[in-house]
Chains A and B, each alone.
Chain A
Amino acid sequence: MALTQVSSNKCAGGFQKVFEHDSTELKCKMKFAVYLPPQAETDKCPVLYWLSGLTCTEQNVITKAGSQLAAAEHGIIVVAPDTSPRGCNIEGEDESWDFGTGAGFYVDATQDPWKTNYRMYSYVTEELPKLINANFPSDPDRMSISGHSMGGHGALVCALKNPGKYKAVSAFSPICNPMQCPWGQKAFAGYLGSDRSTWEAYDATVLAGAYSGPQLDILIDQGRDDQFLSASQLLPDNLIAVCSEKKIPVVFRLQPGYDHSYFFIYSFMNDHIKHHAKYLNA
């Protein structure tokens, strides 16, 4: 598990670093970003895993989301992986921006030609935490997960499928019900095949309906002027309905005037980090 440091910049009293490694799950070289707060010099810190959305890499969140100051204030390590395996030379992986490269959808694919490399679910939930805990001053018992859009879907799914593993979960404009929206249907058909029952394992709305485990407290921010919301790609109402029925605590905030961009994430990142800090530092 050798790590190569790609970059390091001092930021908000700590360090924003990027590393590269050979991934065993994805069978290719993968980059990920790590923010180390000042407290990491002396103590073990909790970790927040951030999953980015379609077309993003590990760079977008660390340059555009403004998370470092809040992370430094609360002493939280922020880890941001890439959104798909890269350079695997799979035919068709670069054809669309919402499937293949930059669009891993945080699932373990079962269909050819994706199933060898496109195992982002296992990468995020298994390989990456082991790597982080072995190489950084992280507290292995205190981790949480968050993300934007496809990454929001990823965060919700990881939390719901792993009761008790993540101390907190939140999302920005997540894809709440991929089985019912064009994005999800395209991706799941490609990665998981045509049997829709296999899709349910990666759909946050379905998983919430069947969730049993320690109590969650989900914070979701959604821009009201988000074009993908009006294009029925995100479907938050479905998730809220299920959570209301199953009594899964959710606070869903519809923010007027905000869209799908990183400007929106930047505006509410502080609130989310505070939400995570409450549970990570408890």
Chain B
Amino acid sequence: MAPVKVYAPNMSTAAARVLLCLEEVGAEYEQVPINFATGEHKSPAHLARNPFGQVPALEDGDLMLFESRAIGRYVLRKFKSPGADLLHEDNLAESAMVNVWLEVEAQQYDKVMSLIFYQLIVIPVFYGGKTDEKVVAENLEKLCKVLDVYEARLSKSKYLAGDFLSFADISHIPLTHFFMSSPHASVFDARPHVKAWWESLASRPSYKKVTAAMSSK
């Protein structure tokens, strides 16, 4: 079986979501860098992979996919093994819970976290601009409300979808990784179950390997 190809720059947090899945299931993959600085993501070659000109895209034989969470599901399903089942699709109720918390991640968590990430990392590092602290403060307040829901949930189960690790947990890793090296990481410390959950994710070999490859520089 030929390795799958992931098209994205090293730093892409959405691509990291896919790489984490590939690492968790032990699938072979190649990374093909896409250079944003030269506008490669809007080139005809890349638009053929992702018509929205976004990253990542994944190539598996004749199949070309985009949208990191859809790619993640495909990878986790294809390379699933008894020791690496992050979707629990053999159990209707469990897989439904995975899907609920994946939607929460995309609709509640990511929306707020990505605005914070944009202010704290993208603007200063990529545009040499200044962080808008008011936007950060507004979104931190929203994030804390979301984390309060997570705290309540994680006081009842070890992971978000239940007592089993799933894609719903893994999907949170890329943006949270950057957030945790910011001065605002203390909002996690104030919530013991959320903190323990994060530390569990951050201790995984997939986390260490994928985040080492991402750089905030």
Q: Is A bound to B?
A: no
Chain B residues close to A by CB (< 8 Å): none
Residues of A within 8 A of B (CB): none
